[in-house]
Amino acid sequence: MANPLVSPEILGIYQNKSRFQWIILTTAVIISVSTIYYTNVLVKQLKAREQRQIELFAKALEYTISESYQQDISFITEEILFENNSIPTILVNENGEIVNQRNIDIDSTSQERIDKVLEKELEKMRSTYDPIEVNTFDPVTEEVYSTQLIYYRNSFLLTQLTYYPYVQLTVIALFAFIAYLVFNYSKAAEQNRVWVGLAKETAHQLGTPISSLIAWMEYFKTDETFKDSDVIAELDKDIDKLKLITERFSNIGSVPILNEENVVEVVLNTVNYLRRRISTKVAIEVDYMYDSIIANINTPLFEWVIENICKNAVDAMSGHGTLTIKIIEGSDWKVFVDITDTGKGIPKSKIKQVFQAGFTTKKRGWGLGLTLTRRIINIYHNGKIFVKNSEVDKGTTFRIILNRKKR
């Protein structure tokens, strides 16, 4: 039967959660790869263009310093040499001394400071590109009698283009991450509403049969046949338990009231109720340091947690073994409750899944018990619950951490 509290659209999103996440991830990757590829093509083209510009710059410089040419070369100086106003260049002579520089910002008038900046820039240029030679020819022999080198690096525009795809990739990754968080948050919020709706509807549905059972119990108590029967006393306990369960479901979704309670007493009461309702082959032991260990708890909800874990432990032991509950008053105003069974244990690969909704090792089970247990402890009690340790065929220990009031 379809759940009337969950719309088909929401149900579809839940069932296809992985699919939607992969779509978001795949889209982000495609955009990123396409952007990087296209930008790299532009960068390569611009690199080649700037290199050709520097080579032309070098040829023009070589042309102007050659004494064999005396014609008007103003077009070279104006349209080629001085046209380079973006690419940083440094001209060095045969001895490695800096002769000239262009397009390097130096915010100092100190010659020492200027020399340091230029030397630093020269090192960067040497590690970026190979230099371009500028040869000076003898006007008579037309042989090269000196060679200067032009070092250069990427212009500011090219540098921007080089890093642009990585900036864009970061933005896209951030977008994908935010989309993922929003999706998970909306999913969790909707799940919470579903949990609350189911819990309150369950409490409402339980109300009518419980009222009927209470009426029947009052009737049987007036019958002399059942008046002093142990059956009536046990049925009374079960009805009280049903009323308690109804109260628990009613509390789901509400802010529970936490009180300072004796954890030892609450655990013992829960265990005494369970002893008559589980296999007699399961021994339950409760160890505690003091008769009174106080923690901030909501008794009905905390009893539910203990019951849930104990019943799971009994199932894990197949109705035969030892269940040990240790209550420890720890440091930092904490109380620890360790519940250990001698059951089949949990494989390491599945330990992280035990608190996920739907995870169960039973043939018949919804896999919701431990999910509700974690919600009650982590959210309602501001505590923690986790698998402290587990070994296959040896057993499992769950640890609950509660808070106690600072004195």
Is 184 a member of any domain? no
User: 160, 182, 215 — which closes off a domain?
Assistant: 160
Position 390 confidence tier, pLDDT thresholds 50, 70, 90: very high
- What is the reported pLDDT for 21? 66
Tens-digit pLDDT profile for residues 152-170: 888 777 777 777 777 777 8
**pLDDT-wise least confident of 83-97, 194-208, 294-308, 345-359:** 194-208
Percent of the chain at pLDDT above 70? 76
Range 353-374 average pLDDT: 72
Is 199 a member of any domain? no
- What is the reported pLDDT for 193? 66
Structural domain including 122 reads 29-160
- What is the reported pLDDT for 321? 94
User: 144, 160, 176 — which closes off a domain?
Assistant: 160
What radius of gyration do the chain's Cα atoms show? 40
User: 129, 160, 191 — which closes off a domain?
Assistant: 160
Position 306 confidence tier, pLDDT thresholds 50, 70, 90: very high
Whether residues 266 and 389 share a domain: the answer is: yes
Mean pLDDT, the chain, integer:
78
Q: Looking at the predicted structure, is the pLDDT value of residue 22 above 70?
A: yes
The residues facing 328 across adjacent strands are 336
Is 39 a member of any domain? yes
Structure tokens of 303?
A: 């009893």
Into how many domains does the chain fold?
Answer: 2
What does pTM read for this prediction? 0.49
Beta-strand relationship, 334-341 and 395-403: antiparallel
Is 240 a member of any domain? no
Whether residues 139 and 272 share a domain: the answer is: no
Whether residues 147 and 269 share a domain: the answer is: no
Tens-digit pLDDT profile for residues 212-261: 787 777 777 777 777 667 777 778 878 887 877 777 677 665 677 899 99
